[in-house]
């Protein structure tokens, strides 16, 4: 027995010594002059486990020790985390100085080499220009809003008298539900036949999974399946594009693919490859943010009856101004001031996007420190959402705070990013969520079944769904 205990003791001691040596070695490896303070954790793995397990608390603890600008090693890369609003703004405004998007390799491989996060400088400017012309206020008003309205009107049919999983209805990857993706497909490539639509959707979800995985190109990995799914998505989009080109003189479709294919409207003269990657970028960037915000708005409105009452009054007023079959129009959207405030407050309180990733193209000085070439910068914006100076009583759901126009105009939040990469789909996203809320609150009343768990990190989701009992409004 004593020998056994001694052996165990020796093993423990050796493990402790080895751990201490490995940790020290890793710290020394990164002890370059000029780097911000912080810890680098284990060789290769860094502090990824702690970051994923503790989430926001990991960030807060490191900030308490090292300040708002510290180094770490997370998600496979030496990283500087910035939690300081001023520095965050500086980083987002200075892409030209060599602080470019730093998204993981799997994402870049699968979304294509022309996707907007992979391109910089002049290429980024003209790709972004092409995208902005597709989602401009005029396009939303004349082309996209009528499509969104038709879609939401149908999607929100026959919910009364049933228990539904609102996450499934707004977000899940199940064939008939995915509201934001279906709506986005409708805007980007128009109406598709059932089998083509289903195949595009199921390949698209494999593509998304692939972008979130490690780039291991072996049979059966999510990455490999993501690459294969990309090939299929590209081949479907290429086929559609060729059909449209063949009927270019008669094609009067008003979806984004047709706009980009018709050369007189494709002012940026994108190549076929660029058009395909742009369509994939739009589908990818818009769907989860919109669906998660819609789900969380339903949750918060349920928990805050006064906000729900005022939101419903706003929509009843709009409903009263039009005939039952008239669509939501641009001037109706402009009247939805409280709805917009609810959407902002939902994005803030739920923190739909924790932050954005950048990397350095050469050694660069930020905040008095030198960030080496190739390091990642995590512009962690989450804590700004709970800053009590910017948002008094920050944990309260208070849409009214956004009605003070200054809060919006001051543009002091980063929920939609900032600088040259500020979300180009912001107004489109708000139009989609507002239209969803219009049909939801004017047609139905609902209550939660209760007991469903919500996760806020690393992404906002209800692991087992968010179930509500829905009744048609009298
Ligand atoms: C509530 C909804 C949305 C939220 C919270 C959101 C959030 C964001 C954020 C934080 C960024 C900055 C990323 C970065 O700096 O690296 C971004 C960029 C982007 N968003 Fe959105 N987004 C939303 C809706 C949409 C929609 C509907 C589209 C569809 C057109 C879209 C397309 C994009 C694109 C293409 C970029 C990259 C822009 C660039 O790199 O120049 N987003 N979004």
- Who's near 278: CB < 8 A, 6+ residues apart? 114, 115, 116, 127, 130, 131, 260, 270
Nearest to 102 by CA among 425, 375, 326, 403: 375
Q: Are residues 275 and 135 in the same domain?
A: yes
CB-defined site of ligand 1, < 6 Å: 101, 116-117, 128, 131, 135, 281-282, 285-286, 289-290, 293, 347, 352-353, 356, 415-417, 421, 423-425, 428-429
Nearest to 364 by CA among 86, 91, 163, 109: 91
Q: Are residues 389 and 435 in the same domain?
A: yes
From 69, 101, 128, give the residue that closes a domain: 69
Task: Look up the domain containing 317 and give its range.
Answer: 84-443
Distance 473 CA to ligand 1 centre (A): 34
Model pLDDT for residues 93-122, shown as the tens digit of each residue: 999 999 999 998 999 999 999 999 999 999
Return the residue whose CA atom lies nearest to atom 20 of ligand 1.
Answer: 423
Q: Is the CB of residue 290 less than 8 Å from the CB of residue 433?
A: yes
Q: How confident is the model at residue 409 (pLDDT cuts 50, 70, 90)?
A: very low
> What is the pLDDT averaged over residues 237-251?
86
Which pLDDT does position 307 carry in this prediction?
A: 98
The annotation status of 423 as a binding-site residue, yes or no, is yes
Does residue 279 sit within a domain?
yes
Return the residue whose CA atom lies nearest to atom 39 of ligand 1.
Answer: 421
Does residue 302 sit within a domain?
yes
Model pLDDT for residues 49-65, shown as the tens digit of each residue: 899 889 899 999 999 99
Q: What is the DSSP string of 369-404?
A: EEEPTT-EEEEE-GGGGG-TTTSSSTTS--GGGGTS
Give the range among 4-13, 37-46, 319-328 with minimum mean pLDDT.
4-13
Share of the chain above pLDDT 90, in %: 63
Q: Are residues 348 and 427 in the same domain?
A: yes
Q: Are residues 56 and 135 in the same domain?
A: no
Q: Are residues 107 and 240 in the same domain?
A: yes
pTM for the complete prediction?
0.92
Nearest to 29 by CA among 372, 365, 366: 372
Which pLDDT does position 247 carry in this prediction?
A: 83
Give the range among 72-76, 190-194, 272-276, 293-297 with minimum mean pLDDT.
190-194
> What is the pLDDT averaged over residues 326-338?
96
Nearest to 156 by CA among 255, 286, 298: 298
Does residue 155 sit within a domain?
yes
Q: Are residues 58 and 113 in the same domain?
A: no
Q: What are phi and psi of 25, to 5 degrees?
A: -60, -40
Q: Beta partners for 72?
A: 79
Tokens of 132: 């902005």
Query: CA–CA separation, 45 vs 81, rounded Å?
Result: 17
Query: CA–CA separation, 69 vs 63, rounded Å?
Result: 7
Distance 365 CA to ligand 1 centre (A): 27
Does residue 458 sit within a domain?
no
Q: Are residues 255 and 354 in the same domain?
A: yes
Query: CA–CA separation, 186 vs 181, rounded Å?
Result: 8
Nearest to 372 by CA among 3, 48, 103, 77: 77
Does residue 79 sit within a domain?
no
pLDDT surpassing 60 at residue 177: no
Q: Are residues 240 and 353 in the same domain?
A: yes
Beta strands 369-371; 364-366: pairing state: antiparallel
The single residue listed with the structure tokens 């639509």 is 197
Beta strands 376-380; 77-82: pairing state: parallel
Report how many domains make up the chain: 2
Does residue 464 sit within a domain?
no
Q: Are residues 11 and 35 in the same domain?
A: yes
Does residue 47 sit within a domain?
yes
Model pLDDT for residues 180-215, shown as the tens digit of each residue: 888 888 899 987 777 888 889 889 989 999 998 888
Which pLDDT does position 239 carry in this prediction?
A: 93
DSSP state of 208: H
> What is the pLDDT averaged over residues 389-412?
81
Give the range among 26-40, 171-185, 412-426 with minimum mean pLDDT.
171-185
Q: Are residues 30 and 88 in the same domain?
A: no
Distance 64 CA to ligand 1 centre (A): 30
Query: CA–CA separation, 297 vs 448, rounded Å?
Result: 13
Does residue 295 sit within a domain?
yes
Q: How confident is the model at residue 267 (pLDDT cuts 50, 70, 90)?
A: low
Residue 174, domain CATH? 1.10.630.10
Which pLDDT does position 313 carry in this prediction?
A: 98
Q: Are residues 40 and 102 in the same domain?
A: no
Q: Are residues 5 and 56 in the same domain?
A: yes
Q: Is the CB of residue 68 less than 8 Å from the CB of residue 75?
A: no
């Amino acid at each position: 027995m004593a020998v056994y205990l001694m052996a165990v003791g020796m093993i423990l001691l050796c493990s402790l010594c080895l751990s201490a040596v490995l940790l020290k070695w890793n710290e020394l490896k990164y002890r370059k002059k000029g780097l911000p303070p912080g810890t680098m954790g284990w060789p290769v793995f860094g502090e990824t486990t702690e970051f994923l397990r503790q989430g926001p608390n990991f960030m807060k603890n490191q900030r308490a020790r090292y300040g708002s600008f510290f180094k770490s090693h997370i998600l496979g890369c030496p990283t500087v985390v910035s939690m300081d609003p001023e520095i965050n703004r500086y980083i987002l405004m200075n892409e030209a100085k060599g602080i470019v998007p730093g998204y993981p390799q799997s994402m870049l491989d699968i979304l294509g080499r022309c996707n907007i996060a992979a391109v910089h400088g002049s290429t980024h400017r003209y790709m972004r220009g092409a995208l902005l012309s597709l989602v401009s206020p005029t396009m939303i008003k004349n082309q996209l809003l009528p499509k969104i309205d038709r879609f939401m009107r149908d999607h929100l049919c026959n919910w009364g008298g049933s228990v539904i999983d609102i996450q499934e209805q707004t977000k899940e990857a199940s064939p008939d539900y995915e509201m934001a993706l279906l709506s986005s497909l409708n805007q980007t490539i128009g109406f598709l036949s059932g089998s083509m639509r289903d195949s595009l959707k199921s390949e698209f979800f494999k593509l998304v999974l692939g972008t979130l995985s490690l780039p291991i190109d072996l049979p059966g990995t999510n990455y490999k399946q993501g690459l294969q799914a990309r090939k299929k998505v590209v081949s479907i989009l290429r086929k559609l594009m060729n059909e449209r080109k063949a009927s270019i003189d008669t094609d009067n479709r008003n979806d984004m693919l047709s706009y980009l294919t018709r050369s007189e409207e494709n002012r940026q003269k994108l190549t076929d490859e660029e058009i395909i990657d742009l369509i994939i970028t739009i589908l990818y960037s818009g769907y989860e943010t919109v669906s998660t915000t819609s789900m969380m708005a339903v949750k918060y409105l349920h928990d805050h009856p006064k906000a729900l009452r005022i939101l419903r009054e706003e929509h009843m007023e709009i409903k009263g101004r039009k005939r039952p079959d008239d669509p939501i129009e641009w001037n109706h959207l402009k009247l939805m001031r409280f709805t917009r405030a609810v959407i902002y407050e939902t994005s803030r309180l739920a923190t739909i996007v924790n932050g954005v990733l950048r990397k350095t193209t050469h050694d660069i000085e930020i905040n008095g420190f030198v960030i080496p070439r190739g390091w990642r910068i995590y512009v962690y914006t989450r804590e700004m959402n709970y800053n009590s100076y910017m948002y008094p009583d920050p944990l309260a759901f208070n849409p009214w705070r956004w009605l003070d126009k200054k809060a919006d105009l001051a543009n002091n939040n980063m929920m939609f990013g900032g600088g040259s990469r500020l979300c180009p789909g912001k107004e489109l996203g708000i139009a989609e969520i507002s239209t969803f809320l219009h049909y939801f609150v004017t047609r139905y009343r609902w209550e939660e079944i209760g007991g469903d768990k919500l996760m806020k990190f690393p992404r906002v989701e209800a692991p087992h769904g968010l179930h509500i009992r829905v009744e048609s409004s009298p």
